[in-house]
Amino acid sequence: MRKEFKYFRISLLTVSVFFLLTMTGSNNFTNSFKVSKNLSFIMKDLQENEKVLIWISFRDKGENVSTLLSFPERLVTQKSLDRRKKVKPLNGLVDHTDIPVNINYINDLKRTGIEVKNKSRWFNRISCYADKEQISQIISEDFVNGVDLVMKFKKNYNDIEFQEQNNIPETDGNNNSNGVQYVLNYGTSLTQMELINAPMAHDSGYFGQGVLIASFDAGVDNLGHPSFDSIRARGIRTFDFVNGDTNIADQSGQMGDGWHGTMTLSLVGGYRPGSLISPAFRSMYIIAKTENTDSETPLEEDNWIAAAEWADSLGADIITSSLGYITMDGGSSHSYTWQWMNGDSCFITIGADLAVNKGIVVFNSAGNEGSHSTRNTLGAPADGDSVIAVGSVTSSSLRSSFSSVGLSVDGRIKPDIMAMGSNNKFAGTGPGNTGYSNGSGTSFSCPMSAGVGAMILSANSNLTPMQVREILYKSADRYNTPDRFYGYGIIDAWEAVKMALPKTLNMTAMIEGFFDENLNIMTPDTVTVNLRSSASPFNIIDQAKGFLNNNGTVSFEYDNVSNGVNYYIQVLHRNGLETWSKNPQSFSSNVLNYNFTSAAVMAYGDNMILKGAKWTFYSGDVNGDGSIDLADLTFIDNDASNFLTGYLPTDLNGDNVTDIADLLYADNNAGNFIITVTP
């Protein structure tokens, strides 16, 4: 009996090993851990020579990574580097995700017969089609970290965006009146523009100028349309990630039709006075074909990620993307379902958030899956925590019935914002068509919102993606009562632009040691001014540095503050005592004027000293600990004894010499036990 049992156990083990080898198609089952669960499931049913689209991720990026990081301009354009300065430190504008995939690894894998479809430097992987035997060879390589499915999405051709549209011939509407007093003539596109208050922003000179927008869609089949004249005149860059060339128009024998992209591009940047004017008609554009509309071919997320990396490298400021990756069939291993919509699970969502991390504002349509009483109907990457998901409303400001709803699985507000996406007017499709059409879908509210994002950046190019998003939230009509149907509500372009404009603080202040009361002038020097919350714990809201000139005046610009909100003014100097404003102050019409020198009560706790006719900040806090004491005197004495000169914290009168004159200021204030007084 014992021998029979032992034989049974050995046989069972043999069967188990055979089963594993069958699943992976490998003769070395020790590498099966590199195959994802989804791909393993698919491989069970793959026929011989049948191929599946996979990701191959690599262990590292090979040698010379440090050398490559030392030359950022070799990895991305200068425009990309300039944009990243808003969100990254100067010594970290590029990182490991910007290093290209190791070409030697790719060449080794090509020997298996694969053809590379897309490369992702951000995720250190490539996509390709492979059969079971090729996958077995791929995972046997030490430099391969793993293989996984490329997720797919098949368009629902019952979607409202695919309904046949009536063509409206172009007419000369230049002499037609808007019916209201605007500078530009919007024709019948006025309704969709007025709903988001874009004409008011146009009248004030904000058209998206100076902003580079990347439009992701299914190509553009009518780039010669008159509404694109200004876009073409400024020059465009294009790439077709479906067919692998630079032609985004429809081509015989190539995959995909570009009618949808014609519509969306015209809604972000179209300009034909009297017929169609869209928010960002003076922006620059790069256009990526990422969707394949062929009815039997799913959309593939690797195209979107490749396009995002391309847009980043060229310096795009905004991505507008009218697509969503989801399927309502919960049994598919190839697609995402609503349960994935948590902002961290979908590969394309992680890619979109990474684009934001590199300084790009990403807008994505929320989806046209309608509402559900207990769960979201979103499509990736709209679920991203840094992605601005756009829903649709009608011309009556009511949510369109098809517009997808939140919340995200992890409970965040989605959609983020709303714009008109019902019966929008856009450029007519098909080569040579000079007319216009009307249609509905969140694909149409998304580019209009992205255009408003460009108007915001025209008003203030220093804003980060998160600042742009917050401004859009604050401009929207449901900012104080967001929900899963409308998000923060319908955006207001003009209010957003006004919020985006830099706020200017005009401040007058004097530093005790630097001020000459006889000449009534001050030695100029640098100060840092923080604007802090008016409520405990008085967090820093924004910060700026400036140069106090010889009459004590300086102006600062702030990007992260709002009109009508109270802030404490906190002034820091290399040896002046930290000083706060007496009370919180607010900007009005983007300006705040504050004069510390006029009276002691202008400082919190009246914490200043009168010198001549001016109230000045105490000098002597050399070590910046909020107290003028023996420690500061010791620093000054040491530097004076060593006859130090130059720009020093121990130089209290700004003459570039540390000596007895500086020591006297500190000694006097230390003797009076002068300390910082704060709320």
Q: What is the pLDDT of residues 416-449, one digit of tens each?
A: 999 999 999 999 999 999 999 999 999 999 999 9
Q: Where are the beta strands (DSSP E) in 324-423?
A: 361-365, 388-393, 417-420
DSSP 23: H
Decide: pTM greater than 0.75: yes
pLDDT at residue 322 in the model: 86
- For the chain, list the domains and their CATH numbers: 2-61+100-150 (3.30.70.80), 160-499 (3.40.50.200), 503-671 (2.60.40.4130)
Take residue 300 and report the two structure tokens written for it.
């593939």
H or E segment to which residue 329 belongs: none
Q: What is the mean pLDDT of each run of 10 residues along the chain (679 residues)?
A: 39 40 46 88 87 94 90 95 96 95 96 94 96 94 94 63 63 54 94 98 97 94 95 94 86 79 96 97 96 66 94 97 60 65 87 97 95 92 95 97 93 97 95 94 96 98 96 97 97 96 97 96 97 97 96 95 95 98 96 97 97 97 96 96 96 96 96 96
pLDDT at residue 11 in the model: 44
Take residue 382 and report the two structure tokens written for it.
């709209």
Take residue 510 and report the two structure tokens written for it.
């004097």
pLDDT at residue 15 in the model: 40
Is 629 within 8 Å of 542 (Cβ atoms)? Answer: no
Residues 6+ apart with CB under 8 A from 241: 118, 288, 289, 290, 303, 306, 307, 310
pLDDT at residue 31 in the model: 81
pLDDT at residue 327 in the model: 53
Residues 6+ apart with CB under 8 A from 253: none
Is 44 within 8 Å of 21 (Cβ atoms)? Answer: no
Q: How far apart are CA 217 and CA 262, in angstroms?
A: 9
Q: Where are the beta strands (DSSP E) in 302-406?
A: 318-321, 361-365, 388-393
pLDDT at residue 458 in the model: 98
pLDDT at residue 379 in the model: 86
